[in-house]
Amino acid sequence: MKLEVGRRSKSFQIVDEQTREPAINPVETVLREGQITGLSSHTVLIHRDGREFAIDDSAAPIRTKEGVIVGTVLVFRD
């Protein structure tokens, strides 16, 4: 498992398995809406070497005691 601390959410590429269009970035959705979110079905994670993995995911905000969002947690499951 690799921890991506301080990295931009652009460090991974996810696409719709059928259309090959970029999938909605769950990190950006969490930062915008402030709620736990997940990907739609049929999403593929593309590795830097070109390998593809069918995935499911969950993303959640990290908040301060005051409720201010300071980051996100993103988990991919293959």
- Write out residues in the chain with pLDDT < 50, as ranges: 1-3
Domain ranges (residues) in the chain: 11-77
Is residue 30 within 8 A of residue 59, CB to CB? The reply is yes
What's residue 40's pLDDT? 77
Q: What is the pLDDT of residue 3?
A: 47
**Per-residue pLDDT at 9:** 54
Instruction: Note the pLDDT of residue 1.
Output: 41
Q: Is 19 helix (H, G, I), strand (E, B) or coil?
A: coil
Supply 8's token pair. 């931009």
Instruction: Tally the C-alpha atoms within 13 A of residue 33's C-alpha that lie toward its C-beta.
Output: 12
